[in-house]
C-alpha cells in the first residue's frame, strides 16, 4: 500500500520521532510500504515522519536503477561520527516537491542502526549515501534541509510550497 507523503509546511514534519523497541512484522510491513512509496515518488530516501508516523525509521536506496534495487532499512539510526571534511550536494526532499538547494554537510559519517532483521549494524558512508543518511536522520528530529539556508531563501521556498499546496487542493476540489 502506497502512503501519502506530507508536504511542508506542516507541523508534523517538525516533531521529534520516538525510538522503537524491536523489529516485528508490523514494522517490516511499514518499511516495505515506505519503500514502495519512495520508489513510486520517486525518491532515494524516506523517513516515517514523512508519512505521518512519528517513529525513528528510515528507508534509503541510492541505486536509482529499476533492475538493481538496493534498499537500506534503518531503525533507530544514530550518527556516531561526522567527518570534518565536507561536501556539497544539491538536495531535494519528497516533502518539498520541486525545491532544491545546495547544502554543505560532513562528507563522511558513521551510522549505527538496527536492520530489517532486527540486527545491530554499523555503516561507514561517504558520497551521496552519507548526505542521504544525514538528511533522513535530520527528519527524525524535525529538521528539513531548508533549515540550513538563509531565512530569505527558506521563506521563499516555503512561500512556493504554500502556493503549490493550494494548487493541489484546487484540483482535488
Is the Cβ of residue 93 or residue 109 nearer to Ni ion in the bound state? 93
The residues facing 91 across adjacent strands are 101
Q: How far is the CB of 118 from Ni ion (least distance, A)?
A: 25
What count of other Cβ atoms lies within 10 Å of the Cβ of residue 130? 24
What count of other Cβ atoms lies within 10 Å of the Cβ of residue 68? 8
Q: How far is the CB of 46 from Ni ion (least distance, A)?
A: 7
Is the Cβ of residue 92 or residue 126 nearer to Ni ion in the bound state? 92
Is the Cβ of residue 93 or residue 146 nearer to Ni ion in the bound state? 93
C-beta separation of 26 from 43 below 8 A? no
**Interacting residues with Ni ion (CB under 5 A):** 93
Q: Give the catalytic positions in this structure.
A: 136
Distances (CA, A) of 26 to 20, 34, 84: 12, 12, 38
Q: How far is the CB of 10 from Ni ion (least distance, A)?
A: 13
Amino acid at each position: 500500500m502506497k502512503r501519502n507523503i506530507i508536504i511542508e509546511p506542516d507541523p508534523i514534519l517538525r516533531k521529534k520521532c520516538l525510538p522503537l523497541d524491536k523489529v516485528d512484522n508490523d514494522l517490516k510491513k511499514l518499511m516495505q510500504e515506505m519503500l514502495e512509496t519512495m520508489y513510486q515518488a520517486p525518491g532515494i530516501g524516506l523517513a516515517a515522519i514523512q508519512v505521518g508516523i512519528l517513529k525513528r525509521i528510515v528507508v534509503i536506496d541510492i541505486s536509482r536503477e529499476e533492475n538493481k534495487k538496493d534498499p537500506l532499512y534503518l531503525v533507530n539510526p544514530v550518527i556516531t561520527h561526522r567527518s570534518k571534511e565536507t561536501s556539497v550536494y544539491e538536495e531535494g526532499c519528497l516533502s518539498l516537491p520541486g525545491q532544491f538547494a545546495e547544502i554543505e554537510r560532513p562528507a563522511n559519517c558513521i551510522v549505527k542502526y538496527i536492520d530489517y532483521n532486527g540486527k545491530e549494524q554499523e555503516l561507514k558512508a561517504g558520497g551521496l549515501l552519507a548526505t542521504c543518511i544525514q538528511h533522513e536522520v535530520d527528519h527524525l528530529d524535525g529538521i528539513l534541509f531548508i533549515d540550513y539556508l538563509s531565512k530569505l531563501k527558506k521563506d521563499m521556498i516555503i512561500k512556493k510550497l504554500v502556493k503549490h499546496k493550494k494548487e493541489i487542493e484546487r484540483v482535488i476540489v
